[in-house]
Amino acid sequence: MARYVVDAPTLLHIVASDLQIHPDHQLVAPNAVRSDTLALLYGQVRRGELSEDEALRLHERLTEVKMRLLGDRVSRRTAWRIAREHGWDAIGDAEYLAVTQLQADALITIDAAMANRAAGIVPLAPLDALTSVQ
Protein backbone atom coordinates (compact mmCIF):
# COMPACT_ATOMS: atom_id res chain seq x y z
CA MET A 1 0.00 0.00 0.00
CA ALA A 2 1.33 3.42 -0.95
CA ARG A 3 0.49 6.45 1.15
CA TYR A 4 0.23 9.80 -0.58
CA VAL A 5 -0.22 13.29 0.78
CA VAL A 6 -2.49 15.50 -1.29
CA ASP A 7 -2.86 19.25 -0.91
CA ALA A 8 -6.07 21.27 -1.22
CA PRO A 9 -5.91 21.96 -4.98
CA THR A 10 -5.29 18.28 -5.63
CA LEU A 11 -8.10 17.16 -3.32
CA LEU A 12 -10.45 19.55 -5.12
CA HIS A 13 -9.30 18.16 -8.48
CA ILE A 14 -9.92 14.60 -7.25
CA VAL A 15 -13.53 15.32 -6.32
CA ALA A 16 -14.28 17.62 -9.27
CA SER A 17 -13.00 15.10 -11.81
CA ASP A 18 -14.40 12.08 -9.94
CA LEU A 19 -10.94 10.51 -9.87
CA GLN A 20 -11.10 7.00 -8.45
CA ILE A 21 -8.28 6.30 -6.00
CA HIS A 22 -6.86 2.79 -6.34
CA PRO A 23 -7.90 0.78 -3.26
CA ASP A 24 -4.27 -0.13 -2.53
CA HIS A 25 -3.49 3.53 -1.80
CA GLN A 26 -4.17 5.64 1.26
CA LEU A 27 -4.50 9.42 1.25
CA VAL A 28 -2.92 11.35 4.10
CA ALA A 29 -3.02 15.09 4.79
CA PRO A 30 -2.79 17.62 7.57
CA ASN A 31 -6.01 18.46 9.41
CA ALA A 32 -6.21 21.75 7.52
CA VAL A 33 -6.75 20.15 4.10
CA ARG A 34 -10.55 20.22 4.23
CA SER A 35 -10.64 23.84 5.40
CA ASP A 36 -8.04 24.79 2.78
CA THR A 37 -10.17 23.12 0.11
CA LEU A 38 -13.31 24.84 1.35
CA ALA A 39 -11.46 28.16 1.08
CA LEU A 40 -10.59 27.37 -2.55
CA LEU A 41 -14.24 26.60 -3.30
CA TYR A 42 -15.37 29.80 -1.61
CA GLY A 43 -12.89 31.78 -3.68
CA GLN A 44 -14.18 30.22 -6.89
CA VAL A 45 -17.75 31.17 -5.96
CA ARG A 46 -16.72 34.75 -5.07
CA ARG A 47 -14.95 35.11 -8.44
CA GLY A 48 -17.99 33.75 -10.29
CA GLU A 49 -16.14 30.64 -11.49
CA LEU A 50 -18.50 28.24 -9.74
CA SER A 51 -22.08 28.38 -8.53
CA GLU A 52 -22.69 28.12 -4.83
CA ASP A 53 -24.73 24.94 -5.32
CA GLU A 54 -21.89 23.31 -7.25
CA ALA A 55 -19.33 24.39 -4.65
CA LEU A 56 -21.41 22.94 -1.84
CA ARG A 57 -21.88 19.71 -3.81
CA LEU A 58 -18.11 19.44 -4.25
CA HIS A 59 -17.64 20.22 -0.56
CA GLU A 60 -19.96 17.37 0.34
CA ARG A 61 -18.00 15.04 -1.94
CA LEU A 62 -14.66 16.05 -0.46
CA THR A 63 -15.88 15.17 3.01
CA GLU A 64 -16.57 11.65 1.70
CA VAL A 65 -13.01 11.08 0.48
CA LYS A 66 -11.29 8.62 2.79
CA MET A 67 -8.20 10.28 4.20
CA ARG A 68 -6.08 9.99 7.29
CA LEU A 69 -5.84 13.48 8.74
CA LEU A 70 -2.93 14.39 10.98
CA GLY A 71 -2.26 17.29 13.28
CA ASP A 72 -0.20 15.82 16.06
CA ARG A 73 2.58 17.56 17.93
CA VAL A 74 5.36 15.93 15.88
CA SER A 75 3.76 16.94 12.58
CA ARG A 76 3.33 20.53 13.73
CA ARG A 77 6.90 20.70 15.05
CA THR A 78 8.24 19.27 11.79
CA ALA A 79 6.23 21.83 9.81
CA TRP A 80 7.70 24.57 11.97
CA ARG A 81 11.23 23.28 11.30
CA ILE A 82 10.68 23.06 7.54
CA ALA A 83 9.27 26.59 7.33
CA ARG A 84 12.14 28.00 9.43
CA GLU A 85 14.84 26.15 7.47
CA HIS A 86 13.51 27.52 4.19
CA GLY A 87 12.69 31.02 5.41
CA TRP A 88 9.01 30.80 4.51
CA ASP A 89 6.63 33.49 5.72
CA ALA A 90 3.80 31.05 6.48
CA ILE A 91 3.59 27.51 7.75
CA GLY A 92 0.68 26.16 5.64
CA ASP A 93 2.68 24.47 2.87
CA ALA A 94 5.15 23.15 5.42
CA GLU A 95 2.33 21.21 7.10
CA TYR A 96 1.81 19.18 3.91
CA LEU A 97 5.54 18.54 3.59
CA ALA A 98 5.83 17.55 7.25
CA VAL A 99 3.06 14.98 6.92
CA THR A 100 4.76 13.69 3.76
CA GLN A 101 8.10 13.33 5.56
CA LEU A 102 6.57 11.60 8.55
CA GLN A 103 3.72 9.49 7.18
CA ALA A 104 3.75 9.11 3.39
CA ASP A 105 5.67 7.83 0.43
CA ALA A 106 5.27 11.02 -1.63
CA LEU A 107 3.38 14.26 -2.11
CA ILE A 108 0.98 14.56 -5.03
CA THR A 109 0.10 18.08 -6.08
CA ILE A 110 -1.33 19.70 -9.18
CA ASP A 111 -0.06 23.08 -7.94
CA ALA A 112 3.21 23.96 -9.71
CA ALA A 113 4.22 26.40 -6.95
CA MET A 114 3.75 23.71 -4.29
CA ALA A 115 5.69 21.19 -6.40
CA ASN A 116 8.56 23.66 -6.74
CA ARG A 117 8.51 24.33 -3.01
CA ALA A 118 8.47 20.62 -2.19
CA ALA A 119 11.25 19.63 -4.60
CA GLY A 120 14.29 18.52 -2.68
CA ILE A 121 12.38 18.35 0.59
CA VAL A 122 10.01 15.42 -0.03
CA PRO A 123 9.47 12.91 -2.83
CA LEU A 124 6.87 13.89 -5.44
CA ALA A 125 4.59 11.57 -7.40
CA PRO A 126 2.39 12.28 -10.41
CA LEU A 127 -1.39 12.48 -10.11
CA ASP A 128 -1.86 9.23 -12.02
CA ALA A 129 -0.03 7.37 -9.24
CA LEU A 130 -3.33 7.57 -7.34
CA THR A 131 -5.15 5.43 -9.88
CA SER A 132 -2.62 2.63 -10.41
CA VAL A 133 -0.58 0.18 -8.38
CA GLN A 134 3.05 1.26 -7.93
pLDDT of residue 48: 98
- Confidence bin at 35 (pLDDT 50/70/90): very high
C-alpha separations of 130 from 5, 90, 94, 119, 133 in Å: 10, 28, 22, 19, 8
pLDDT in tens, 37-81: 999 999 999 999 999 999 999 999 999 999 999 999 999 999 999
- Give the pLDDT confidence of 83-95 residue by residue, as tens digits: 999 999 999 999 9
Map out the domains of the chain as residue ranges.
Answer: 2-128
| 98 in Cβ contact with 30 (< 8 Å) | yes
CATH number, domain 2-128, options 3.40.50.1820, 1.10.3720.10, 2.40.50.100, 3.40.50.1010? 3.40.50.1010
Q: Rounded to the nearest 5°, which phi and psi values hold at 111?
A: -90, 110
First to last CA, the chain: 9
